[in-house]
Amino acid sequence: MTVDPSAKYHRRVKQALADDRLHTALERATSRLRDKRAAAVEAIDLEQVRDQGRAIREHAIRRLPELLEQLERNLIANGCRVHWAESAVAARDIITAIARQHGVRRAVKSKSMTTEEIHLNHALEQAGVKVVESDLGEYIIQLAGESPSHITAPVLHKRAEDISELFQRELGMQPTADPAEMCATARGQLRSEFLAAELGISGCNFAIAETGTICIVTNEGNGRMVTSMPPVYVAVMGIDKVVPRVEDALLLWQVVARSATGQEVTVYFSATSGPRGTGHVDGPKEMHVVLLDNGRTRILERGYADALLCVRCGACLNSCPVYREVGGHAYGETAYSGPIGAVITPLLADNPFSAKELPFASSLCGVCREVCPVKIDLPRLLLDLRHDMIQLGTSTRYERAAMRAYTRTMESPRTYGRASRVARWLMRLLPQDRDGNVLKLPPPFSNWTRTRAFPRLAQRSFRELWRSRGPQDTASGDA
């Protein structure tokens, strides 16, 4: 990995833009995911399905407290233990306590962005628990000591060649370029982990309130393994994941599958309501559910309920021209990248300044809004966040002075015209390329020309041209 998620924003972006391997991997992956999604949504009445998905999610957020209480009641009735965690620390403490109580030494996990969000693996390892990621992509990342760069395709930033090298080094695999062989190697390794693990940990795609059910969506079957093989199972869910009815979860499942990978449904959908039943052959003896807030109530309080509608399909990442260029790690040390990540990362952070650049890292082109299966107006949210950041005082004194000067200039046609004449004159003095584009602007505008040229200004402004044409031209319409 050449992009260091812990580096400063400008440095991360620079690293990402300079990484040709990353561009190859990103281009191969996101274009294929986009094509598959496009084919899958063409086959159905997309607008109707988006409205349905949106209706379910809106309903759930509006009735969040009631649904969470109903979910809790039913989970307990089903024989689960329910824990509430306000913060990442609280959630980590709850889960490590469960592990300690059972003397757990090995845990297997299925892919979960929520557990990435609370940095669970590190906490468990400090408590003496070996944690193995079982999703193939997450497993690759864990072996490489990296972090996921995409919500649904965590290893999207790696080429097949990179993965083969990694398996040869870490697992002693014979050299091969065949993904099937790499996959078989991982299957063998992970199978023994599943059979030995004393604790299974998963996230949650949807939780059904009326039945007390945790739903996990996977293609590999690791979600079913994690919820079936180890004697103790812990599900970690953001409090925004609840839906009212069984039918709602099944509808959203299909929505997520089509949006994420272009599948009609994923291979596995595991809906777990409780521990192993009386007389059952297998399944966990104990099931815990951790309901995690960690900034979600604050999202609601700050007026960003829209962001809680997200179903984590990753379609906005695959379509975003910024994500496709820089990848997930450029968004920093966060589980969530791309347009939705740029919205929820600063909102979830305890310190809103820690990711203050992210809402600005977007051209607001709007394609994310077009593909979102629950119709989140992401560009609007990004703009509102920018506004909030300014209100919070993230702008410098210099920036504020510049905005005041800008306002004055734009207030009347006369000041605007005068300013553009001055600018045109000044630009002649600056280094230019053959077409007259300016190669180097003086500070404070030099940031612009660091990575691109500034287009030359027209020799005459529109207003000047208009004036010079005279009245007869406008009447005849002759050009």
Partner 1 sequence: MTAQPGAARDRILRRLRSSLKEKRQLFRESVINDLPATPMTVYPPSDRLSLVESFGAKLTELSGSFEAVQRETGIAERIASKVAEWIPNGGPAITEVLSWAPGELHVPRLEQTLAELNISLFVPDDLHDRQVIDHAASLAVGMTGVEAAFANTGSVVLTPAPGRSRIASLLPLHHLILVPLSKIYPTFEDWLAKLRKEGHLETFVRESGQIAFITGPSKSADIELNLTLGVHGPKVVHAIVFDDKE
H/E element, 134: none
Q: Is 183 in the site for partner 1 (CB under 8 A)?
A: yes
Q: Is 283 in the site for partner 1 (CB under 8 A)?
A: yes
Closer residue to partner 1 in complex, CB, 263/420? 263
DSSP string, 200-267: EEE--SEEETTTTEEEEEESSSHHHHHHHSSSEEEEEEEGGGEESSHHHHHHHHHHHHHHHHS-SS-S
| Total residues at interface with partner 1 (CB under 8 A) | 114
Q: Do residues 16 and 327 touch, judged by C-beta distance below 8 A?
A: yes
Name which of residues 393 to 452 contact partner 1 (CB under 8 A): none
Closer residue to partner 1 in complex, CB, 187/428? 187
Q: Which residues of 455-476 are buried (b: 16+ CB within 10 A; e: fewer)?
A: eebeeeeeeeeeeeeeeeeeee
User: Binder to partner 1 among 200, 230, 238, 274 (CB under 8 A)?
Assistant: 274
Q: Is 86 in the site for partner 1 (CB under 8 A)?
A: yes
Q: Is 179 in the site for partner 1 (CB under 8 A)?
A: yes
Q: Is 76 in the site for partner 1 (CB under 8 A)?
A: no
Segment contacting partner 1 by CB under 8 A, of 10-18, 175-183, 412-420, 459-467: 175-183
Q: Is 198 in the site for partner 1 (CB under 8 A)?
A: no
Q: Is 176 in the site for partner 1 (CB under 8 A)?
A: no
Region label for 338, one of left (φ > 0), alpha (ψ between -120 and 50) or beta (otherwise): left
Segment contacting partner 1 by CB under 8 A, of 159-167, 312-320, 425-433, 454-462: 159-167
Letters for 238-257 (x = contact with partner 1 by CB under 8 A, - = none) are: -x----xxxxx-xx--xx--
Q: Report the helix count and the strand count for the chain, using DSSP H and E.
A: 23, 10
User: Binder to partner 1 among 118, 120, 132, 155 (CB under 8 A)?
Assistant: 155
Name which of residues 13 to 72 contact partner 1 (CB under 8 A): 25, 28-29, 32-33, 44-45, 49, 51-52, 54-56, 58-59, 61-62, 64-65, 68-69, 72
Q: φ, ψ for residue 289 (rounded to 5)? A: -125, 125
User: Binder to partner 1 among 261, 319, 337, 345 (CB under 8 A)?
Assistant: 261
Q: Is 158 in the site for partner 1 (CB under 8 A)?
A: yes
User: Binder to partner 1 among 142, 211, 318, 337 (CB under 8 A)?
Assistant: 211
DSSP code at position 438 = B
Closer residue to partner 1 in complex, CB, 287/438? 287
Contacts of 307 (CB under 8 A, 6+ apart): 299, 340, 343, 344, 347, 376, 381
Q: Do residues 196 and 231 touch, judged by C-beta distance below 8 A?
A: no
Q: What are the CA-CA distances from residue 81 to residues 27, 75, 90, 242 (Å)?
A: 44, 7, 16, 17
Closer residue to partner 1 in complex, CB, 74/112? 74
User: At CA 280, angle to CA 277 and CA 285, rounded to 5?
Assistant: 55
22 class by beta-carbon count within 10 Å (0-12 exposed, 13-18 middle, 19+ buried): buried
Amino acid identity, residue 406? Y
Distance CA 307, CA 12 (A): 25
Name which of residues 300 to 319 contact partner 1 (CB under 8 A): 300-301, 303, 305-306, 309
Closer residue to partner 1 in complex, CB, 131/441? 131
Q: Is 222 in the site for partner 1 (CB under 8 A)?
A: yes
User: Binder to partner 1 among 34, 106, 159, 386 (CB under 8 A)?
Assistant: 159
Closer residue to partner 1 in complex, CB, 4/93? 93
Q: Is 291 in the site for partner 1 (CB under 8 A)?
A: yes
In whole angstroms, the minimum distance from the beta carbon of 84 to partner 1 comes to 4
